[in-house]
Structure 1
Amino acid sequence: MLEPAELYEVAADAPQLDEPVLLVALEGFVDAGNAARLAVEALLADREARNVVRFDADQLVDYRSRRPPLRFETDHWAAYDPPELDVVALSDTADTGYLLLSGPEPDTQWERFSAAVEQIVRRLGIRLVINLTAIPMAVPHTRPIGVTAHGTRPELTEGHEAWFATAQVPGSAVGLMEFRLGEAGLDAMGFAVHVPHYLARAEYPQAARVLLDHVGLAAGLYLPTEVLLKAAERAEAEIAEQVEGSDEVRQVVQALERQYDTVSTGRGERSSLGLSGTLPSADELAAEVERFLAGHGDDDNSDDNNSDDNGDEGRGGAQPS
């Protein structure tokens, strides 16, 4: 392996935090409902982000698969938006400092990247690494949103119900990173929020808010969720309108509700709520809901990003599922 330290640079003026938590949300792995992306946007909204570590994206990103945008104006190239994979320092609503690693998931050198993260964890005295993901599940939007928790020590996931026994899933950089950190004796964990599979390609801010609720509880942070709360209220109303207007949609949601309730009361097998559960007409439901939401997402998000509302925010009241 090439030297991991040559993958990144620590800022000379990086703020010094006392045993911070590092949150990790990388683009490219599964992100049902865009929940992890929405969570990152909420964390960065109206917050000062101070650079701590910058990874050399030129070594990690496959440009031909991602195609970062170049802007052409009349007769020349005017701007370039390069991929950035950075660790920044933020503060929660109680002014407690923490770190956030976000940007594109490395396409190459996963082992070297994981070793680099381990070096950073040790160098900065990071006490806990938490990664954020979102997975599609055969669950209805009318029931509490579940979360799968995992960690390098059983103590890190106490109080969280296991949804899976054993599952073989495609690898990810964050998954390997957590695995290697555990082998090195460092504390790392993650939360995968469950998004109704028929909403997996739409924006589902409800899931992002639940994700931040759980992360806040685990990290001891008061994370800002007011933007997500407002977006979730609008999304709920839009989904309810779509369900009400379609007998087919309503029937599929009711079937999912029956399945969920059966499993929740212990009369079914939890495997029926797996990663790729299917029910009759689920594809039709997905298509109808996505078509309905497609015309609303951009306007709603721009409103939220410009909001200075000081409403609900905090470490979150969601109870582990």
Structure 2
Amino acid sequence: MGLDPEELYEVDSDVPDLDGAVLLHFFDGFMDAGQTGRLVTDHLTGEVENRVIARFDVDRLIDYRSRRPTMTYAVDHWEDYEAPELVVRLLHDQDGVPFLLLTGPEPDREWELFAAAVRRLVERWGVRLTVGYHGIPMGAPHTRPLGVTTHATRESLIGEHQPLPNRMQVPGSVSAMLEYRFGEWGHDAMGFAAHVPHYLAQSAYPAAALLVLEAIGEATGLRLPDGELRTAADVANAEIDRQVADSEEVSDVVRALERQYDTFTEASGHSLLAESQEHMPTADELGSQFEQFLAEQDGS
């Protein structure tokens, strides 16, 4: 007897009509350069009133020993336990249009059953489109326009965004598998990957999150608030520029990236991303000095 996907979640009894809504999703645990996906998720849940309408059974999906939850010990007793949550939240955009956000730790097990469970919810609520998002490290400087890679189950969903030109094999993720399975099941799904400079991949980089938020808005028609994220991006960019100006070594690294970026862009007429991977700088080659410098600044 097969396992029932509906046993993997509980749904609130008071869920409004969601026919035609969009479902966004981001899971902690996979690659997220610049904390792009986390920043977008925290921004939405912090700026937009929301409530949980579905909860997944994390005891079945999460390996606690590989990602131990935080507990607080106070003097002579355990005071708090931060239980992991994998939930679907209901939010509304600035025009009052409802949309959904599925977020929490990436499941460690039962991926296929989890995907089937999300499918049940998508069909139950009449979701028209699912959208994933995160950040990927890229050999480009922060002083040039950021790029975003778009992928989807139908070419028409990609629009004017530039897809990756190469065929490649990469480690899988639940987010990617959801998009793949939804394509097989005939549901529209897409994803955005912001290009984060290699040397900023380990730091919070709000500019990449802002780019993703704007891309989500364009693709879905949702009017999402961006003021706080835009302010955070301006502050972070100013701090990065200050740190670059304070170090000749770091400035040299950034100038090298700028020359390479401009040379490829002028020669090809499109983004550096479209060039062969063998020409792109690695994090070790062009980012190590900058990463060390930023770490020293954080520790001062």
Taking structure 1 as the reference length, the TM-score comes to 0.87
Structure 1 residue identity aligned to 2:234: E
CA RMSD of aligned residues (A): 1.8
Aligned pairs (5 A) from 1:59-208: 59-208=60-209
What do residues 152-180 of structure 1 show as CA deviations (whole Å, max 9, x unaligned)? 11111121112331121110011111101
Q: How many residues align?
A: 295
What do residues 11-39 of structure 1 show as CA deviations (whole Å, max 9, x unaligned)? 11123223100000110011111111110
Q: Which residue of 1 aligns with 2:288?
A: 283
Q: Which runs of 5+ in 1 are unaligned?
A: 296-321
1:220 correspondence with 2:221: yes
Structure 2 residue identity aligned to 1:59: R
Taking structure 2 as the reference length, the TM-score comes to 0.93
**Partners of 1:15 and 1:52 within 8 A in 2:** no
Q: Which runs of 5+ in 2 are unaligned?
A: none
SS at match of 1:265: helix
**Partners of 1:50 and 1:90 within 8 A in 2:** yes
Q: Which residue of 2 aligns with 1:210?
A: 211
Distance 2:99 2:217 in 1: 11
Q: Are the structure 2 counterparts of residues 273 and 118 from structure 1 closer, same or farther at C-alpha, using a change threshold of 3 Å?
A: farther
What do residues 203-239 of structure 1 show as CA deviations (whole Å, max 9, x unaligned)? 1000000010001110101111111111111111111
Distance 1:60 1:36 in 2: 21
**Partners of 1:15 and 1:50 within 8 A in 2:** no
Identity of aligned residues (%): 47
Structure 1 residue identity aligned to 2:297: F
**Partners of 2:199 and 2:283 within 8 A in 1:** no
Q: Which residue of 1 aligns with 2:266?
A: 265
Higher mean displacement: 215-224 or 73-82: 73-82
Higher mean displacement: 38-47 or 201-210: 38-47
Distance 2:175 2:101 in 1: 13
Q: Which residue of 1 aligns with 2:39?
A: 38
Structure 1 residue identity aligned to 2:237: E
Give the Å deviation of 1:278. 4.5
Distance 1:55 1:206 in 2: 31
Q: Are the structure 2 counterparts of residues 77 and 139 from structure 1 closer, same or farther at C-alpha, using a change threshold of 3 Å?
A: same
Q: Which residue of 1 aligns with 2:244?
A: 243
Q: Which residue of 2 aligns with 1:318?
A: none
What do residues 101-140 of structure 1 show as CA deviations (whole Å, max 9, x unaligned)? 0110101111111111111111110000000111111110
Give the Å deviation of 1:293. 4.8
SS at match of 2:146: coil
1:16 correspondence with 2:21: no
Q: List, as ranges, runs of 4+ consecutive aligned residues in structure 1 with deviation greater than 6 Å.
A: 273-276
**Partners of 1:137 and 1:274 within 8 A in 2:** no
Distance 2:56 2:117 in 1: 9
SS at match of 2:164: coil
Give the Å deviation of 1:276. 7.3
Give the Å deviation of 1:263. 2.2
Give the Å deviation of 1:294. 6.1
Q: Which residue of 2 aligns with 1:313?
A: none
Higher mean displacement: 194-203 or 75-84: 75-84
SS at match of 1:186: coil
Distance 2:163 2:267 in 1: 14
**Partners of 1:148 and 1:194 within 8 A in 2:** yes
